[in-house]
Structure formats: C-alpha cells, structure tokens
A and B are shown apart, each in its own frame.
Chain A
Amino acid sequence: MNKRDFLKDAILFFPAAATLQALASDASATADATATAGATPNDYDATRHWYGMGVDINKCIGCNRCVEACKAENDVPEEPFFFRTWIERYRIHENGETTVECISSKPRPPEQTEQAEPVDPTVVRTFFVPKLCNQCAHPPCVQVCPVGATFQTEDGVVLVNSQTCIGCRYCIQACPYGARYLNPRTRTADKCTFCYHRITEGLLPACVEVCPTEARIFGDLKGQADRLVRFHRLNKINVLKEDLNTEPKVLYANMDGEVR
C-alpha cells in the first residue's frame, strides 16, 4: 500500500468507525433501557411472565458447571447433601437394566478429569439429565406449607420466604422430585428459585448462563417469540412424573422413559 492509498483509506475509515461506534453505543443504550425497565420494581409486571426452563438431554455433557454456578450464585452449602440443581447419569445396559448415579454428589478433582473411565461394554446408551425444581404450576409443596412461607409468584416461580418458614419440612416431603432440602445454615426449606433475583433483572439463571452446550434454555412461556416457546414447538417434550398432575414448567426434550 502506498502513501496515497493509505491516506484515502484512513479518511474513509475513521468517520466510518466513529459512525459504527455511535450506532453500537446507541443500540446498547436501548438494550440497557430495556433491561433496566425490567429491573425497576415499579415497571416489572410479574403477571406478564410465566417462566419455565427447557432442558435438551441430548445436549447435556454432564460437566457440572451448572451445579457449581448454582451453588456459588445462591450460597448453597458445598456439602454433597444439599442441591438446588444436580446432574444424573443414566446408563442403559444390554439386558435392559438401567443404572443411575448422581454425578454432582462427588465433584471429580481437576487432576482426574483427563482420565477416561474404563468402558463398560454392556452399556448400550448413556445420557445425562440435569434436575432442578420443576416450578410446578400446581405445586404440592405450596399446598402443604402450614404458614404460607412457600408460595408461587405471579410469574410462576415457587419461592420460599426464609423469614417466615418454620422449618417443618412438610414441603420437602411433598415434593415428588427431591428438589428441596433444609438449608442447615438458615434451618429453613430451600430450593431452586430460577435465580429470581437475576431473571427479574433481565438476566439468565446462573445455570443457564454457564451451560457450555445450551442444554438449558430459560424463557417465558407467555413470550411471543421466546426461545422457550420455540423450544417447546420444535421438540418432543416430556415432563417428570406427569401422572402426579403437578404440571411442571421444566420441559425436557429427548427424555428417555427411564428418567424419573
């Protein structure tokens, strides 16, 4: 490139870059405005949302990042007895038997992650299933809470008020999915909130945010062009323990009948 060409290009480049930058900052300002509109309590209209989550079992690689992110984000005790979300590994054997294990109970030390497990030749199929509170539309936990400390928000999320929960554990018994535990620090019931503090700010739940394969899709079932609505349309969807009529809002795609 000679001097003349360089100067000609530079004359064109700088205004173009400035224009582009102006456009970009304008766009992000609009985006910010949209996001903060959701954040201000006065503007956030819970009745306009109905949150849910989609899980594509074919996409989950069992990396446990969601579990770690959840524990960090929500201050869930590290010990392997308390989970808001966890990953199960299913192995279907030649003879039709199924073995299941929770791979989140014992996080593998980093030095061992490189080593592959010996291959079991009898396994014909294997897959991972992320589990979490199903944020049921008909939550049995809410029904049984004696003091109304567990409740359903207008946007469809089941929450626990740790200030009024008496720690009777009836909700833990009533949950068919094992999604609740008694937080040993607060001595109150605890569970997945869909990261309610994040979603009402326009952010994604921590587990969805960190998932490297987009196995988890968070969305609003009332949204017109929402990703979750699209996920629902494009996949064959199942929910856990449908016969209990709890109407879960965690929707599973590509789920095997063995999953309970």
Chain B
Amino acid sequence: MSAIPESLLEQLGQQLQQVQGFIYPNEVETQWAILIVVYPYITGIVAGAFILASMVKVFNVVEVQPIYRLALLTALAFMLVAGMPLQLHLGHPERAYEIFMTPQPTSAMAMFGFVYLWYLLGILLIEIWFEYRAQMILMAREAKGLMKGVYGALSLFSRDLSPEALAFDKKASKFVTIIGIPSAFLLHGYVGFIFGSVKANPWWGSVLMPIVFLMSAIVSGIAMVMFIYILLSLLRNEKLDMVCLDKIGLFLLVAIIVDFSLEALDYIHRLYQSEESIGILTELVSAKLFTSLVVVQLLLGMLLPLVILVLVRTVRFNEELRKLLYFTSSLLILLGIFSMRWNVVIGGQLYSKSFRGLMAYKMEITGIESLAMALFLLALPFIFLAVLLWLLPPRWMERHAAQIPEEAYPAANLVGRT
C-alpha cells in the first residue's frame, strides 16, 4: 500500500476551497478528468471520419473520392490513440486486460474493449488493407532494401494484381464499409451510452445522449478531415479539389443542423420537464459552464460555423475565400466539439448528486492526468497520420496509374480529376 501523493491532496484541498453549497464529501475529487474529455473527442473523430469515407463506397458520392483515403487514414491515426487516454486514466493500467478476460456483461464499459478491437481489427485495418493492397504490392516492387520488406509485409506478401483480384479488393472493401457504418455508429453511440445510462447523474442520464454523441462525432470527424485536407494542401502547396471541398462543406452543414437540433431538443426537453435536478443544472450552466457551453460550444463552435457554411452555399464567394471560410469553420467546429465533450464529462461532475452544491475542477498542468498529457494525446494522431501518409501515400496510384488495369481499380479512374 503506497502513500497518498502530495499533489493529489494539494489538488483536492484547492478544489475543496472552491466548493459552493453542500456536496457529499467524496465528491471533492473529480473522478473523470481531462483524459476522459479527450477520449470521446478522439473516438468521435474516428467514427466521423469513417462515415465520411463510407460516403464514397456505399453511397457512391464520387465528389468526395479525393479524400476517401485521407479520411480512412485519419480514422486509423485517431483510432490508434483512442484507447490511450482510457488506459492512462486507470488506477491500475496493468490490469486493463481484465476487461477482456472477465468482462461484466451488464457493464457498458466492458463492451468497449470488444467494440474497439472489432472496429480496429475487423473494420478499419481490413478496409485499408483492401484499399491499399494493389498499391502496396506495386510499392514493394519499386522499393529497395528495408522498405521492400516493409511493403511486402504490409501487403501480407500477396502478389496478385489480376483484374479478378482487383475486382475482389473493390468488392471486399465495399462489403467491409457496409458493415463499417453500423460499427462506427456502435463505436460512438456506445460511448454516449456510457454516459447516458448513468441514472445517478441527470446531466448525463438522457436517452438522447448516444444519438447526440453520434451526431457530434460525425460533425467532428468531417470537420477534422476537412481541416487536414486544407492544411495538407497548404503545406504541400497543392491545389484543392473545390468540388470535393464544397461537398464536404455540405455534409458538414447538414450534420451540424441535425446535431444542433438534437442538442436543442435535449435542453428544451429538460427545461420543459423541469424535474428535481433542473435547479442545480441551471446553476451549473450559469455559474460553471457559461463560457464553455454558451460561448464556445454554442456560439463559436456551432452557430458561427453554421452561419458561415450557410453563407458559403448561398453567396458565391471566390475559391480563396471559400477555402478560408471552410478552414475557419472546421477549426471552430473542432473547438466547439471539444468544448461539448468537456461540458458533458467535466460538467457532469461539477454539481453534487445531492443537488445542493457545485464543485470545482482544477486541471493539473503536468503529470498523467494533466493538460500536458491531453495536448500530447491530441497531437499524437497527427504524428501517426504523418507516418501513415508517408508510408501509404493516398495519391500514389494516380501517379503510377499506368501499371494497373484502369477498369479494375477505382483510384486509377480518378487520374486527372484533381
């Protein structure tokens, strides 16, 4: 049995001083802190990016084909990080495997491991593998030394580039995407259910929570792919496909409208029903969450980008301005959704379950559960993405189109499109 860390006692002492009204004494400690804000944020981006990618495969939205691979790799880069905040947050990270060994079937959290693994291994990796198989074979042929082995291994040493094999890739990839859509819904809807099923906490306990989480996930995933797409074009000084960007902008607009409506419905429903908790929740919003909820999440993160996206569709701005507006709104949305995760996770722990008082959360700057760690985890997917983009360049096929039968491979059909 180890001693109690001084830093924890100091943090709790400071949080105790900021308590307003009455709280249960065990409530001084913020049980789920910044890392649990990061976790649904990252998972949401995974689900959203995947759903955007699946628009191409399942719904044949050819306009967004140029970002199909980018969206898949974005989903993978974020997926690789998604479990980390959870793992780091555990009191006993070394026991995390217990979730797989002795899962409790009644626990929403117990299913996380399985949903995560299913999505990573059963969907994302398989879809990317089929999508990139031909390219990896060709890259293995061209590469020298170590990289030859790497690409060989990545393609699982397959060599078949016959039209039949390529046609099968296409079919398999489409099939995986079709299963992938409900899986992506499951992945993030389930995250919402973890919160929504807590009846002890009325700020969380709402039947709409999984759907709100899902819609906000789609919004954040689309915004993230849009942001990365524009950013990459700036970094590489490449021309953007404006048809594609406009289409993403349209999806983003629709997703925001649905998300906004659902969240508004949730608040209206709470206010109208006006249950026992409404008094303390109103106090919570006005005293603790005004900036993060009303200003950042609602005004800056939702209404402002909504207005911008409507303007872009109604007024014919020139390309440069449109690019700038898309870039701005994607950033605002990403900020807004992060704020939304904060307001749900931290907000739900800033009022007492006695409904008689408010707590405080003082974020640590360094340490495991800290601002520094959160920033690191938020930066990590971009590093992973950079590696993935280097390893599996999305446009490689377009440049090497001559080597592959055009009719068989979708990416090859796009040569000259952008």
Contacts and interface: CB of A to CB of B under 8 A. Distances in A.
B349 to A, nearest CB: 8
Given A81-B12, A168-B91, A144 B31 contact: no
Chain A interface, DSSP helix/strand/loop, else mixed: loop
A185 interface: yes
A185 B24 contact: no
B25 A80 contact: yes
Nearest to B275: A243
B109 interface: yes
B106 A143 contact: yes
B108 A144 contact: yes
B353 A169 contact: no
Interface stretch (B93-101, B237-245, B296-304): B93-101
Given A147-B103, A188-B92, A83 B109 contact: no
Nearest to A179: B26
B27 A100 contact: no
Contacts of A83: 25-26
A148 B102 contact: yes
A242 interface: no
Interface in A150-208: 164-170, 172-182, 184-188
B370 interface: no
Contacts of B201: 173
Interface residues of A, number: 49
A260 B355 contact: yes
B368 to A, nearest CB: 11
A79 B26 CA distance: 11
A176 B205 CA distance: 12
B90 interface: yes
Interface in B176-216: 194, 197-201
A182 B8 CA distance: 12
B26 A167 contact: no
A86 interface: yes
Interface in B95-119: 95-96, 98-99, 101-104, 106-110, 112
A-B residue pairs, 7 tightest by C-beta = A167-B91, A178-B24, A187-B91, A176-B200, A146-B110, A100-B22, A146-B109
Interface in A77-110: 77, 79-83, 86, 88, 99-102, 104-105
Interface of A: 77, 79-83, 86, 88, 99-102, 104-105, 131, 140, 142-149, 164-170, 172-182, 184-188, 244, 260
28 contacts: A80-B28, A81-B12, A82-B26, A83-B26, A86-B24, A86-B25, A99-B22, A105-B25, A131-B24, A140-B198, A142-B106, A146-B103, A164-B98, A165-B95, A166-B92, A166-B95, A166-B96, A167-B92, A168-B91, A170-B107, A170-B194, A174-B198, A176-B199, A177-B353, A178-B352, A188-B92, A260-B355, A260-B356
A100 B354 contact: yes
B26 to A, nearest CB: 4
B5 interface: yes
A86 B354 CA distance: 14
Given A173-B32, A184-B8, 16 more contacts: A81-B12, A81-B26, A131-B24, A140-B198, A146-B109, A164-B95, A167-B92, A168-B86, A169-B32, A173-B201, A174-B198, A176-B200, A178-B25, A178-B27, A178-B353, A184-B5
A73 to B, nearest CB: 16
A105 B95 CA distance: 32
A146 B91 contact: no
A181 B29 contact: yes
A226 to B, nearest CB: 30
Given A80-B25, A184-B4, A188-B92, A178 B354 contact: yes
Contacts of B29: 81, 181-182
Given A178-B26, A181-B26, A166 B8 contact: no
A102 B352 CA distance: 13
Given A146-B103, A166-B98, A178-B26, A140 B2 contact: no
B3 interface: yes
A188 B91 contact: yes
A147 B92 CA distance: 12
Given A131-B24, A146-B109, A148-B104, A185 B3 contact: yes
B321 interface: no
B307 interface: no
A84 B198 CA distance: 22
B16 interface: yes
A147 B198 contact: no
A244 B200 contact: yes
B1 interface: yes
A101 B98 contact: no
Given A140-B200, A176-B353, A147 B102 contact: yes
Contacts of B9: 79, 81
A81 to B, nearest CB: 5
